[in-house]
Chains A and B, each alone.
Chain A
Amino acid sequence: MGHVGDYLFDALRNASEKGVVVGMTSQCIWGRLNMNVYDQGRDLLSLGVLSLDDMLAETAFVKLRWVLAQTTDPAEAKKLLMKNVANELLNRTVYGKIGC
C-alpha cells in the first residue's frame, strides 16, 4: 500500500515545493500501489508524491532520468512519468499474467 515514516514528511514537502519530482513505487514485482487505502498514503499524495502504480522501482528510476532529459519543467515531467511508454505503467493487473 505504500508508506514512509512521518519524520520524512517535512523533507518530502520541501522537495515537492522546490519542484523535485517525487514518486512512490513498491518492491513487489507484481501488483500495484494504491495510496488511497491508508492515511499515510493519502497524506503522501497531499504532499505531492506521485503514485507510480505498477511501475517497478528500477524502471521508474531509469524512466525519470529519461523524462528529465526531455523536460526540466516539473509539471511536464510528472505528466511524462505517469504516461505509459513501453508497457511499464499499466492500469490493469491481471491474474496469472505479468505485464499485459
Chain B
Amino acid sequence: MTVDYKKVGLKSGLEIHQQLNTKEKLFCSCEPELFKDDPEFTFLRILRPTQSELGQVDSAALFEFQKGTSVLYEATNKTACLVEMDEEPPHGLNSEAVEISLITALMMKMKPVDEIHVMRKTVIDGSNTTGFQRTSVVALNGAIEIKGKKVGIQQISLEEDAARKTGTKGQVINYRIDRLGIPLIEVTTAPDIFTPQEAQETALAIGTILRATRRVRRGLGTIRQDLNVSIRDGALIEIKGVQELDLVAQIVENEVLRQLKLLEIRDELKKRGVTEQDIKDDFVDVTSVFKQTSCKVIANAITQNKIVLAVKLPCFDGLLKKELAPGMRLGAEMAGMARFWGRVGGIFHTDEMPAYGVTVEELNRLGKLLEKQPQDAVVFVADTPENAKDALNAVICRARIALQGVPEETRAANIDGTTKYMRPRPGAARMYPETDVPPIQITKEYVNELCNRLPELPEQLMKRLKAEYGLNQKLTKQIVNSEYIDLFETLARQTKVSATVIAVAFTETLTALKREGVNVDAISDDQFTQLFKLIGSGKAVKESIPDVLTWLAKHEDEPAEKALKSLGLGMLTQKELEKIIDEVLDKNSEFIEVRGQGAFGALMGMVMKKTRGRAKAQVVNKVLKQKLEHHEA
C-alpha cells in the first residue's frame, strides 16, 4: 500500500540518544565501561511509592509496588561506586561531558543556556536505583539542513544513562548498574519531519554530526533513537529504542499504516453499530470448558489452580486478526496491554481459533456460555483470578478505545521494524529539580572559546579526507557516516596500509560481515589496530581482512596475530610459495607449452587462489615470472 504522507498529515520528530566517550561517568568517577563476566556483588531493592512534595502518589509507582516487584542490581567495583548504588549523593556534573554537549549544540547552531540545572525525571521501572533519571537542558533552538530543508533542533540535554536489564525471574528484575551514569546526550528535533525517508535522513545527519565531535562512544546500544509519530485524526505515538538507523524509515511507515488501519477499524465498528456501553466487563469463568483440553498453556494453568476467564467483544469478529501493519494486529495490541496491566503471558481470542490445541468443540461450548453471536469475538486468558481479571479489564479498555481510533501510548521498537505496546504515555509533570548538584554557569567567554575550536563539520571533513587520503566520493561519504571515522584516521596515519584499504574494511567489509550475521561490534579498537599493523608490516595481506575480522568477532580480547595463526593465514615462506608455484606449473605444463608467456595471467590467478591471502600479489608476480621463464627453458 502506498501512502500519500502529505495527505494523511504525517508529522514526526526524533529523539536521539548518544553515549559520550568521557573518561568518567556523569556524576561520579567510575569507569564508563560495561562488564561481561559475573557481577562481584549484588543487592536487592524494592520500589516503594512515597508522596511527592505536592502530596500526590505516582500512580505508576503505586502500580509497580502493588505488583510486588523487586529489583536485583548487579555490579562490579570498577564500574560502580556508592553513587550508582544511591548510597552517596551525586558528585558535580562531569565537565568533560558538558563540553562535548556544548560543542554538539554549537555545531547545530543552537543557543546554550546560561546555567545548566540538573533535574530529576521520575522513572519507576527499576532502571535507576534512585527512582529518577538525572537530566539537564544544555542548549535550545538550533537547526540542521536535510537536502535543502531546515529541520529544527529543539533541545539538547545531557543525561545519565540507565542501568541495563539482564533478566527477569518471577517478581525479581535484574539490572546491571555498569551502564547507569554513563553520560548521554539527547538531541530532540522539532516535528518538522513529514515523510519516513526524511526521518531516516535526519537521524543519519544527526548521527554524523555527533560522530564528527570525535568524542562519542560506538558499538551496539551506544546510540538509540526514539521516534514520535502522528497523523491527522490519529494520535501522538512515542516509539522507544530503535537501535538500527536503517530501521527508522520502516518503523515510521509501519506506524502510519497502523494508525490508518486503526481508523478503518473505528469506522467499521461504527458501521456495525457498536457503542462503548455494548462492551461490558461481564467476565465469565470458563475453566470447566477446558478441563480435558489439549492446549498445553491452559492445561498447565488449570493444574496450578488457575482459572480461565473470558469476555465477549460484541461485533468484533474478524477485527482482532486484521493486519494493521506487517506483523501487527489489534489482537496483539490487546495482548500487549493485558501483559502490562494483568501480568499475564498473553491472551487467546476467537479470531485466531481453532489453534494452540483448542478444539472447535471447546469453542462451541465457550461460545454458548458467553452467548456469543457469529459477529462477536471472545477473548480469554488463563491465570490467577486477579491477573485474569486485570488482563480482561485491559482488553475491554483497549476495545473501547478502538471505537475512538488511535490511543496515545509509548511503544517499543522490535528488531524487525515492527513495534509493540510498552506503556501508557507518562504525564507531563514528572520533572523536579535535583538539589544535590549545584548548577553550572555557562559563560560567554567559555562559549566563544569553544566556538573557536569546533571540530570539522561533516562536509568539511569529507573535503579534507578526499584531499588528504585520496579516497573516492562514495567511500568518503561512507566513512564519514561510519562509526569508525576516528579509528580510520588514526590507522591511516599510523600504519603503512593504504587509506582506501582501511576505509573499505570499515565500510563495505564490515557491512557485508554484519549481513552474514557476524557480530562486528565485538571487535575492539585494539584488534583492528593490530590487524592493520600486521598488514602494514607485511605479515598479513589485505585479502585476509574478512576472515580475520570474522574470527576476531568471535574471540574477544584475542590478538589479531592469533587469528592469522589459527586460520592458517600466516604469510608463506619463500620456500612454501615456490613449492605452490612449482605444483601449479607442473600441473599445467601442456597449457604453458601452448600459450607460452600468455599463460601468465591465468597461472597468476591459480596461484593466488591457492595461497589464499598468505602471499603478497607482488611477490607472487615476481616469483612466478622467474619460474615461468625457467620452466620454458
How distant is the Cα of A91 from the Cα of B82 in the complex, in angstroms?
11
Cβ-neighbour of A36 out of B75, B85, B437 (below 8 A): B437
Q: Knowing A93-B81, A95-B75, say if A34 contacts B88 (CB, 8 Å).
A: yes
How distant is the Cα of A59 from the Cα of B486 in the complex, in angstroms?
45
In the complex, are the beta carbons of A97 and B89 less than 8 A apart?
no
Cβ-neighbour of B88 out of A93, A96, A97 (below 8 A): A93
How distant is the Cα of A1 from the Cα of B88 in the complex, in angstroms?
10
Q: Which residues on A sit within 8 Å (CB–CB) of B30?
A: 92
Closest 7 CB pairs of A and B: A91-B29, A92-B81, A34-B89, A94-B77, A93-B82, A37-B436, A37-B89
**Residues of chain A at the chain B interface (Cβ within 8 Å):** 1, 31-32, 34, 36-37, 42, 91-97
How distant is the Cα of A92 from the Cα of B91 in the complex, in angstroms?
10
Q: Knowing A31-B88, A34-B91, say if A97 contacts B77 (CB, 8 Å).
A: yes
Q: Taking each of A31, A42, A92, A96, which has the highest tally of chain B beta carbons within 10 Å of its own beta carbon?
A: A92
Number of A-B contacts (CB under 8 A): 43
How distant is the Cα of A34 from the Cα of B91 in the complex, in angstroms?
8
How distant is the Cα of A32 from the Cα of B437 in the complex, in angstroms?
15
Nearest chain A residue, comparing its CB with the CB of B30: A92
**Majority SS of interface residues in chain A?**
loop
Q: A67: shortest Cβ distance to chain B, in Å? A: 23
Q: Which residues on B sit within 8 Å (CB–CB) of A32?
A: 88
Q: How many residues of B contact A (CB 8 A)?
A: 19
- Binary interface encoding of chain B residues 526-547 relative to chain A, with 1 for a CB under 8 A from any of its CBs, else 0: 0000000000000000000000
In the complex, are the beta carbons of B41 and A96 less than 8 A apart?
yes
Cβ-neighbour of B82 out of A1, A37, A94 (below 8 A): A94
Q: A29: shortest Cβ distance to chain B, in Å? A: 14
Q: B178: shortest Cβ distance to chain A, in Å? A: 13
How distant is the Cα of A97 from the Cα of B77 in the complex, in angstroms?
8
Q: Which residues on A sit within 8 Å (CB–CB) of B29?
A: 91-92
Known: A1-B89, A91-B29. 17 other contacts (CB 8 A): A31-B87, A31-B88, A32-B88, A34-B91, A36-B92, A36-B436, A37-B436, A42-B438, A91-B28, A91-B91, A92-B28, A93-B81, A94-B80, A95-B41, A95-B85, A96-B41, A97-B77
Q: Which residues on A sit within 8 Å (CB–CB) of B80?
A: 94-95
Q: B312: shortest Cβ distance to chain A, in Å? A: 55
Q: B386: shortest Cβ distance to chain A, in Å? A: 37
**Residues of chain B at the chain A interface (Cβ within 8 Å):** 28-30, 41, 75, 77, 80-82, 85, 87-89, 91-92, 435-438
Q: B551: shortest Cβ distance to chain A, in Å? A: 36
In the complex, are the beta carbons of B81 and A95 less than 8 A apart?
yes
In the complex, are the beta carbons of A95 and B89 less than 8 A apart?
no
Q: Which residues on A sit within 8 Å (CB–CB) of B89?
A: 1, 34, 36-37
Nearest chain B residue, comparing its CB with the CB of A92: B81
Nearest chain B residue, comparing its CB with the CB of A36: B438
Nearest chain B residue, comparing its CB with the CB of A34: B89
Q: Which residues on A sit within 8 Å (CB–CB) of B28?
A: 91-92
Q: Which residues on A sit within 8 Å (CB–CB) of B92?
A: 36
How distant is the Cα of A32 from the Cα of B583 in the complex, in angstroms?
74
Q: B86: shortest Cβ distance to chain A, in Å? A: 11
In the complex, are the beta carbons of A96 and B437 less than 8 A apart?
no
Q: Taking each of A31, A36, A97, which has the highest tally of chain B beta carbons within 10 Å of its own beta carbon?
A: A36
Q: A95: shortest Cβ distance to chain B, in Å? A: 6
Q: Which residues on A sit within 8 Å (CB–CB) of B85?
A: 95
Q: Which residues on B sit within 8 Å (CB–CB) of A34?
A: 88-89, 91, 436
Q: Knowing A34-B88, A36-B89, say if A95 contacts B82 (CB, 8 Å).
A: yes
Q: Which residues on B sit within 8 Å (CB–CB) of A91?
A: 28-29, 91
Q: Which residues on B sit within 8 Å (CB–CB) of A92?
A: 28-30, 81
Nearest chain B residue, comparing its CB with the CB of A94: B77
A-B contact pairs, 15 of them (CB 8 A): A34-B88, A34-B436, A36-B437, A37-B435, A91-B91, A92-B29, A92-B30, A92-B81, A93-B81, A93-B82, A94-B77, A94-B81, A94-B82, A95-B75, A97-B77
Nearest chain B residue, comparing its CB with the CB of A39: B435
Q: Which residues on A sit within 8 Å (CB–CB) of B41?
A: 95-96
Q: Which residues on B sit within 8 Å (CB–CB) of A94?
A: 77, 80-82
How distant is the Cα of A10 from the Cα of B274 in the complex, in angstroms?
77
How distant is the Cα of A37 from the Cα of B437 in the complex, in angstroms?
7
How distant is the Cα of A94 from the Cα of B436 in the complex, in angstroms?
20
Q: B76: shortest Cβ distance to chain A, in Å? A: 9
How distant is the Cα of A95 from the Cα of B507 in the complex, in angstroms?
43
Nearest chain B residue, comparing its CB with the CB of A32: B88
In the complex, are the beta carbons of A95 and B77 less than 8 A apart?
yes
How distant is the Cα of A37 from the Cα of B90 in the complex, in angstroms?
9
How distant is the Cα of A42 from the Cα of B92 in the complex, in angstroms?
13
How distant is the Cα of A21 from the Cα of B539 in the complex, in angstroms?
61
Nearest chain B residue, comparing its CB with the CB of A90: B29
Nearest chain A residue, comparing its CB with the CB of B435: A37
How distant is the Cα of A1 from the Cα of B435 in the complex, in angstroms?
14
How distant is the Cα of A12 from the Cα of B92 in the complex, in angstroms?
24
How distant is the Cα of A64 from the Cα of B241 in the complex, in angstroms?
52
Q: B180: shortest Cβ distance to chain A, in Å? A: 14
How distant is the Cα of A37 from the Cα of B85 in the complex, in angstroms?
17
